[in-house]
Amino acid sequence: MDMWLKEGQIEDAAMTYKIKETLVTKKTQYQDLSILDTYAFGRMLVLDGIVQTTIKDEYVYHEMISHIPLFTHPNPKKVLVVGGGDGGAIREVLKHPSVEKAVLCEIDKDVVDECKKFLPEISCALGNSRCEVFIGDGIKYVHEHKNEFDIIIVDSTDPFGAAEGLFGGSFYKEIFECLTEDGIFIAQTETPFYLPDVVKRVYEDAKAVFPVTKLFMAGIPTYPSGFWSFTVGSKKHDPENVDLSNTIDIETKYYTKKLHKACFVLPKFIENLTK
């Protein structure tokens, strides 16, 4: 008998994946966690029935959420990743030699532990000497660290349940205060096809706090619609107009310097969400 995962994140649509093997399934303190080996996308992390990352397409998300802000900032030394217990954003952040310290603040220790066991390609940098793993509440952590980080990456699950507090104006004000004087914030901000109201609301909340606010898109096959938005908030530096001519070359599969500029050119219907 074939085994399938049916993801029903979107009310009127679903995505299905044929499962080769269930590697782990457990109820953590915060959520239901599974790591499955699938035929189409390899091993995948699933939280509360929703696909978070897979071996086959994780690089798109992790490269774009990391390199856009890190190449925009002229000298990023200290980076905070809120959520992202799989470690993919940390892996990409530490490709930048200017980064002296990267802090992963993840509320669910089980996510970190199980990803180390079953997703080593993604979590491989969590043991790096420049990385600090802090298990705790990201909202509380941000509140307690003022003017400390050059870059803050909000690598959260979707804005429902435990992650709901990571989306919205009050948290973005806390992030603004946690950043240094020319700091940059970035968050994954859902799909404009299925959740345009969420994309618009989050963008407007960020824009109310940050002098420079931009939205960009990336293609991620395992996320609903395959077309995903990210929102950048910056105190000074414009990610769309940054000079990349003297930046270092790093190994990537999706991000390029040309794409850095091109991803901010939005289809008309998405552009309308930012007006």
Series of mean pLDDT values for 10-residue runs along the chain (275 residues): 88 92 97 97 96 98 98 98 97 98 97 98 98 96 97 79 56 96 96 94 95 98 96 98 94 97 97 95
155 given a catalytic annotation:
yes
95-128 burial string, b = 16+ CB within 10 Å, else e? Answer: bbeebeebbbbbbbebbbbbbbebbeebbebbee
Q: Is 158 annotated as a binding residue?
A: yes
Main-chain phi, psi angles of 85, to 5 degrees: -65, -15
Catalytically annotated residue among 108, 155, 238, 243: 155
Q: Is 137 annotated as a binding residue?
A: yes
> Is 182 within any annotated ligand binding site?
no
37 labeled binding residue: no
Q: From residue 108, how far is each of 86, 115, 129, 228 by CA, in Å?
A: 11, 11, 21, 24
Domain architecture of the chain: domains with CATH = 3-54 (2.30.140.10), 58-274 (3.40.50.150)
SS3 (DSSP) at 77: coil
pTM greater than 0.75 (yes/no): yes
